[in-house]
Every structure is written in structure tokens, then in C-alpha cells.
Amino acid sequence: MYPSAFIDESYWQPQGRPGAYLMSAVIIDQDDVAPALAAASAAARGQPYHSTELYHRGHVGIIEDMLDVAASHAGWSAVSLQIPLDTRPAETSDDSTRSIHRVLAEREYARQVSLEQLLRYLNTQRVRDVYLESRASDREWQQARTANRRIPATDRSDVRAYRRLLEQHAISHRVRLVHIKDHTHPGLWLADAIAWSAGRAIRTNEPQWFDRITDTATIIEATTGKELHINARGPLHQPANATPTT
């Protein structure tokens, strides 16, 4: 049986700073999917789960429980990290003049770069079913069905990234990319916890959250695919023999 993966994203773009984007995947063996999802539901205490909201409300115990479920039930977790959000040449040297369209384009670019790198990694782990949350609204899904389209326009860029890899023979044709409409899927909660913990370690130098899963997790640089590490020397470092890229 081949493992499945559940994906979530996180990004931050503070004023005047380059920002960062990460996409996390929790990899679960097929036979362990049902127990893992049941454990995630139990960890959420019967409520919809979102790490950032829980943190701001002071419910850190629920976050810790979700991370412990990931550590116990996931075969492995992976994080694809893009710093800065967009590595392409800026349209202007004056950040204050950037349009909202440029900001959104940067996030979309970072998402696609991160998704492609993560799919490459998941392919090496023999993952077959890759699930990620749809960004389309219920209305967009209804419009897609009315127009006899399988995927809403909002999710098409993900599909294009996936198809590029297939055309390049970079991933197996057995890999499936599936958009989940259900925002309360426990598999997505696990990926959310992974993304949040990695983000806290990188953005605010609080590695204690990611430390709960560090023995079963890998961070890779989205552009190069090189492995990165969070350790006592600081929030983010590559191995000593690697060429710095951040």
C-alpha cells in the first residue's frame, strides 16, 4: 500500500520585508490513515481546528496534541520553504509603490514553486494520493459544475503545476492531486499544525513547537530542493556542507 499526503500552506509578508512562504505535507501510510484522522479529530476536541486562532486564544495544549498526533501517526512530514516570497526580479526598486496585484502574484508564485518542489519530494516517498485544501468558494465550485469543469478557476494553477511535473517526467503518473472542499478535514488539520510550527520556528525563533516533530520531519528549500535545518544556532540553517541560499 502506498502512503497518502495532506498539504497545507502558510505565509507571512511584513511591511518592508521580503516575507516567506511554506507548504507542509504530512505523509501517512495507507493503513494508518483512518487511525490518524480519528486521533486528529480527538485532538481537536470536536471543534474546527486552526493553529493560529488557537494560539491567539491561548489554547496551546490543543496545538501540542495535534503535533503529537502527527509525530505518532505520520510516517514523515515535509515542509517546502520559499524565502523570499518571489525570487524573480522586482518590477520596481521602491517597495512602497508595489501594487496589491504584485503582492498577490508573489504569493501565487511562491505557492507554485513550493508545490512543485513538495510534489517532487512526495514522489520520492512513493506517495500516490496528495490532498490539499481547495481555495475556491462554494459558489466557484457550483459555477465549475454548471460549466462542466472538474476544477474551479482558483485551483487551476495548482493543476498546471502538477501537470508540468508529469510532462517533465519529474513525478510518476500514479501520483494524484486531489483538492478537498471540506475545510474541516482532519488530515488538513495535521498539515496545518506542521505548517504553523515550522512558521513559528522560522519567523519568531520559537523552535519548541517544531521540536515536537523534528525527528520525523524534513524542511527543503523550494527553489533548490536542498535540505534546511532548524537548530540551536538560529531559526534556519542548512547543513554545514551546503551552499547557503537564504
Burial call 127-141: b when 16+ CB within 10 Å, e when fewer? bbbbbbbbebeeebb
Q: Whose CA is closest to 81, among 30, 167, 23? A: 23
Q: What percent of the chain has pLDDT over 90?
A: 68
Confidence of residue 98 (pLDDT cuts 50, 70, 90): low
Residues pairing with 22 in the sheet: 10, 81
pTM of the model: 0.86
pLDDT tens digits, 215-244: 999 999 999 999 988 765 545 555 444 433
Q: For residue 168, what is its C-alpha cell? A: 517533465
Average pLDDT, the chain: 87
Q: Say how far apart CA 201 and CA 148 lie, in whole Å.
A: 43
Cα end-to-end distance, the chain, whole Å:
37
Q: Say how far apart CA 76 and CA 67 lie, in whole Å.
A: 12
Instruction: Report all structural domains of the chain as residue ranges with CATH numbers, in order of start.
Output: 4-237 (3.30.420)
- Is the confidence at residue 171, as pLDDT, over 80? yes
Q: Do the Cβ atoms of 177 and 120 come closer than 8 Å?
A: no
Least confident of 55-64, 136-145, 155-164, 187-196: 136-145
Between 153 and 68, name the one with better pLDDT: 68
Q: What percent of the chain has pLDDT over 70?
A: 83
